[in-house]
Amino acid sequence: MGCTPPFLIPQAKYFVARVPFTEGDADAARRSMACHKTQYSEEEIARITEAAKRVYAGVLPLVPAFGSDATADLLPSRKQKQ
């Protein structure tokens, strides 16, 4: 099992994308777990999604794959096209 890469968590300073999400987004995420019904019970899905809502507190912190300024939008280029 020496081929398994370590689980690394980036330093907080690299989480420059902080994307807010609504209660409706959290509900949609819970519904999307339906495809995992053979892996998780309804109770487990409820616990997972409730825990995620508490941990993230309405903001999903992300580390961009490429250098980026701080942002709250995953697709900023879409605003430029409108």
Residue 6 or 39, more confident: 39
Residue (of 15, 30, 23) closest to 69 by Cα position: 15
With tokens 């605003």, the residue in question is 79
pTM above threshold 0.85? no
Q: Find the length of the chain.
A: 82
Q: Can you give the pLDDT at residue 76? A: 66
Cβ atoms of 45 and 3 closer than 8 Å: no
How confident is the model over 50-81, as pLDDT tens digits?
A: 999 999 999 999 988 877 788 888 776 655 55
